[in-house]
Chain A
């Protein structure tokens, strides 16, 4: 029983990992955000457990040219790094939107054929 749980947890983690970048792009497509805002939203959605997961992903997306960032003064404390989608990022998001819909559809087809 226990071992099964652990394996399932792993599967669940992998599922979330795969969609994490898509989620980040989605969040940033609504409005520019700094890391703690993105973290808050991903945590609420149970998408990440530890915050450290986010930073390498942001860096990767930035290096791929999908994101960029700007510094913005904050009312309290030092300036914050606001991330935003680039044009390329918006394009990528459209592609990912489509593939997400396809994936959900295909999985649903498989799920339905179960009975």
Chain B
């Protein structure tokens, strides 16, 4: 049993499963991150095309759109790179018309389960700001060496930042890079 989402794609109603929804959402927002503001209507065209192709994929309006179908459709339209280079940060612009859930893509400040040296503080901070964890680690070590404040900051962050187990996992976390 799987959860499904009702999505309005190109002014047509589709029932899509969660994986398909996420895939299409990411695809459209990737494309929109490559369009400048005067060309955002391209997104409408692409969305209408996705709707057309999905309609061909499903046998009846009752049938749920699966990730497999969504993948076939996006493969036909082509990789987002076809639409140019990224102009805005991926994930910032909303695909218009394609209703989004309340799920946010912004990471919470938390300590990742994997990729930790001591408690995962540096790794969590790095992920939050989307920078290389090594950079944060170097800064942290310098801060500890140069003064005692560094150590205290680390300990405070350790206490304040929740362990990742306690926060919601975002399935597409690692695919953003």
A22-64, CB under 8 A of B: which get 1 and which 0? Answer: 0000000000000110000000000001111101101100010
Interface residues on B, range: 20 to 34
Residue A75, interface by CB 8 Å: no
Report the number of A-B residue pairs with Cβ-Cβ less than 8 Å. 56
B64-83, CB under 8 A of A: which get 1 and which 0? Answer: 00000000000111111011
- The secondary structure that dominates the A interface is helix
Q: Are A78 and B10 in contact (CB under 8 A)?
A: yes
Give A56 to B82 CA distance when docked, in angstroms: 8
- A81: which of B12, B48, B78, B84 is its contact (CB, 8 Å)? B48
Residue B92, interface by CB 8 Å: no
Residue B52, interface by CB 8 Å: yes
Q: Are A55 and B12 in contact (CB under 8 A)?
A: no
Give A35 to B48 CA distance when docked, in angstroms: 10
Q: A35-B49, A36-B49, A53-B78 known; A77 and B12 CB under 8 Å?
A: yes
From A52, A56, A59, A77, residue with most partner B Cβ within 10 Å: A52
Q: How far is the CB of B152 from chain A (nearest CB, A)?
A: 52
Give A81 to B42 CA distance when docked, in angstroms: 11
* Smallest CB gap from A39: residue in B: B49
Q: Which of B94-111 contact A (CB under 8 A)?
A: none
Q: Are A56 and B48 in contact (CB under 8 A)?
A: no
Q: How far is the CB of A79 from chain B (nearest CB, A)?
A: 8
Residues on B with C-beta less than 8 A from A51 are 49, 76-78
Q: How far is the CB of A77 from chain B (nearest CB, A)?
A: 6
Residue B38, interface by CB 8 Å: yes
Q: Are A81 and B55 in contact (CB under 8 A)?
A: no
Q: How far is the CB of B2 from chain A (nearest CB, A)?
A: 26
- A50: which of B38, B44, B77 is its contact (CB, 8 Å)? B77
Q: Are A52 and B83 in contact (CB under 8 A)?
A: yes
Q: A53-B82, A77-B55 known; A59 and B77 CB under 8 Å?
A: no
Q: Are B78 and A56 in contact (CB under 8 A)?
A: no
Q: How far is the CB of A50 from chain B (nearest CB, A)?
A: 3
Give A81 to B38 CA distance when docked, in angstroms: 17
Residue B45, interface by CB 8 Å: yes
Q: Which of A66-102 contact B (CB under 8 A)?
A: 77-78, 80-81
Residues on A with C-beta less than 8 A from B169 are none
